[in-house]
Amino acid sequence: MSDWLQGYDAVIFGGLGTLADCAELDLAAWNAAFRIHGLDWFWSWETYASLTNEVGRRHLAAAYAALHGEDHRADALDATHQKIFAAKLAQNIHLRSGVRDVLRAAAHGGRGLGFVSRSDLMPVRALLGATARAREGISFDAVILRGDVTRHAPHPEAIQSCIRALEVPANKVLAIVDRGAAAYAALDAGCHVVGFPSRLAEEGEFPADLPLLHVLDITKLARPSADGQGQHAAE
């Protein structure tokens, strides 16, 4: 079997959406949380997408309330949402196409595996539990979540923390990201980056020269050249 990850010391998946298509479950969890808290809010897909596209945001509910001049307990809403989202992820979620191949190649090749997400522990644990069999029991060596950092993508703090935890040089890391903000963060951290857009990704949000894969074909991943500079994936 070809070593498609030759030249890398680690692979970091940046975002829940790099592992599974879970945006619709997340949206449903938000609307359920609003009902539980007695709010007459209802987010359409368009509203939800516009909120998630605001980079660096920690609490979507707080942002929405601020936009409408309302005052609600964002932390309580967020906690309810996280519980519902985790339950939905545990029930029915599948790895995106090609993810298992990359996980397998990294693990069998002795490379570090990292995961970075703006989510909290509860939904991430549920997602990893639900996909454990599909991942063939392969685990992540370093996981950096929302509560581990103070600044979010496009700031590189989270992915830099993951790189330090993996104890590898940044220019030997392949970052697979689902959103443009995560791409800019990984590039700023010095990683080689491939975009794996989620359903929420908008046209033009990724850097113009970044390779984008809608199916994570391991044979088309960017690979570092001998001088340490990234080579883009073949179109």
Q: What does the pLDDT profile of the chain (235 residues) look like in tens digits?
A: 468 898 999 999 999 999 999 999 999 999 999 999 999 999 999 999 988 887 555 678 888 888 777 766 888 999 999 999 999 999 879 999 999 999 999 999 999 999 999 999 999 999 999 999 999 999 999 999 999 999 989 999 999 999 999 999 999 999 999 999 999 999 999 999 999 999 999 989 999 999 999 999 998 885 655 444 444 443 3
Burial of 198 (0-12, 13-18, 19+ CB in 10 A): buried
Q: Give tens-digit pLDDT for 23-53.
A: 999 999 999 999 999 999 999 999 999 888 8
CB 117 within 8 A of CB 16: yes
Q: What does the radius of gyration of the chain's CA atoms come to, in whole angstroms?
A: 18
Q: Would you tell me how many other CB atoms lie within 10 Å of the CB of residue 122?
A: 19
The size of the chain, in residues, is 235
On average, the pLDDT of the chain sits at 90
CB 184 within 8 A of CB 152: no
Q: Give the integer Cα–Cα distance in Å for 98 and 116.
A: 18
User: Which H or E element spans position 122?
Assistant: helix 121-130
